[in-house]
């Protein structure tokens, strides 16, 4: 196993720690709508910033605007197709669900979250192969994003008091990102010249998740100020990471 492969797998494992941090927060703050809205705002912001200001420009510099746009659209389209073909409830539906609906939402939301985590690992792997500095930035941003996202989406499972299910879903969600990273390594190993396309593809997938899932979910909590605060914090964190990187990002 090469040094690059080991580094990618280690970085993808950061999501395991932050996933469990998010689950722990959900067990403590399950009815705090302000905290949930802030977390969703942060998750949305950090994913859009990384996708649109890092992955897309990196890809554009290598393969040009038109090809980057095509791969970006394909990535968003693939996740959208998965949403149509795989029956999981839209993440915004969990807010306000009760009784059987809440139970159903808990299972389907967890399944949807696991589906979303794969592209994140894929994006990190391809970013690291293109530039270790960029890969590190993407890995840290995704890890930070996972905590509030897992927190928001673990709430239904916590409310129905099914800890075994909650922990099982958390394990699968945490492992989904390393699995996505492995897929990214394999894809680049088979076709190294397509790495820039893979980055744009992953950016499209993550942008779709942010706009199609997280934003509607935040609207359901009706806390626009807290959502905006989360967006602002994500921008501050992104700028801080860039400064720490000495402009290398």
Q: One digit per residue, pLDDT tens: the chain, 249 residues?
A: 788 888 888 888 887 788 778 777 777 766 677 877 887 788 788 888 888 988 899 899 989 999 999 999 998 888 788 767 655 554 444 444 444 555 555 565 566 566 667 777 888 888 898 889 888 888 888 888 777 767 766 665 665 566 676 677 777 777 888 888 898 888 888 888 888 888 888 888 888 877 877 777 777 778 889 999 989 998 998 888 777 765 444
66, with CB counted inside 10 A (0-12, 13-18, 19+), is exposed
- Are the beta carbons of 106 and 157 closer than 8 angstroms? yes
12, part of any domain: yes
249, part of any domain: no
- Residue 189: per-residue pLDDT: 85
**Residue 40 DSSP SS3:** helix
56, part of any domain: yes
214, part of any domain: yes
What are the CB-based long-range contacts (under 8 Å, 24+) for 162-167? 162/106, 165/106, 165/107, 165/110, 166/23, 166/26, 167/23
Sign of CA dihedral 190, 191, 195, 199: negative
- Are the beta carbons of 206 and 50 closer than 8 angstroms? yes
- Residue 65: per-residue pLDDT: 95
Tokens encoding 173? 């969600």
| DSSP conformation class of 90 | -
Rounded to 5 degrees, what angle do the CA atoms 125, 14, 140 make?
A: 70
176, part of any domain: yes
Q: How many domains does the chain have?
A: 1
- Residue 109: per-residue pLDDT: 54
Count of Cβ atoms closer than 10 Å to residue 186 Cβ: 11
- Residue 67: per-residue pLDDT: 95
- Are the beta carbons of 96 and 85 closer than 8 angstroms? no
| DSSP conformation class of 211 | I
Query: Residue 203's domain spans which residues?
Result: 3-244
- Are the beta carbons of 47 and 206 closer than 8 angstroms? yes
41, part of any domain: yes
Distance (Å, rounded) from C-alpha 220 to C-alpha 24?
Answer: 23
CA atoms within 13 A on the CB side of 111: 13
67, part of any domain: yes
Residues 6 or more apart whose CB falls under 8 angstroms from that of 202 comprise 51, 55, 75, 119, 120, 122, 123, 126, 184
180, part of any domain: yes
Count of Cβ atoms closer than 10 Å to residue 242 Cβ: 16
């Amino acid at each position: 196993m090469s040094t690059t492969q080991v580094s990618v797998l280690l970085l993808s494992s950061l999501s395991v720690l932050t996933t469990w941090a998010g689950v722990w927060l959900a067990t403590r703050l399950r009815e705090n709508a302000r905290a949930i809205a802030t977390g969703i705002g942060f998750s949305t912001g950090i994913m859009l910033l990384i996708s649109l200001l890092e992955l897309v420009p990196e890809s554009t510099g290598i393969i040009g605007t038109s090809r980057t746009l095509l791969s970006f659209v394909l990535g968003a389209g693939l996740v959208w197709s998965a949403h149509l073909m795989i029956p999981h409830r839209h993440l915004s539906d969990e807010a306000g669900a009760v009784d059987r609906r809440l139970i159903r939402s808990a299972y389907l939301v967890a399944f949807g979250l696991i589906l979303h985590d794969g592209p994140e690992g894929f994006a990190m792997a391809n970013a690291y192969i293109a530039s270790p500095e960029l890969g590190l930035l993407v890995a840290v941003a995704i890890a930070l994003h996972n905590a509030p996202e897992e927190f928001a989406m673990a709430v239904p499972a916590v409310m129905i008091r099914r800890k075994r299910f909650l922990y099982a879903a958390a394990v699968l969600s945490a492992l989904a990102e390393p699995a996505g990273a492995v897929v990214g390594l394999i894809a680049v190993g088979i076709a190294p010249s397509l790495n820039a396309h893979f980055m744009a593809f992953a950016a499209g997938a993550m942008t779709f998740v942010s706009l199609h899932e997280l934003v509607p979910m935040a609207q359901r909590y009706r806390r626009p100020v807290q959502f905006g605060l989360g967006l602002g914090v994500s921008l501050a964190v992104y700028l801080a990471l860039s400064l720490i990187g000495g402009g290398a990002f």
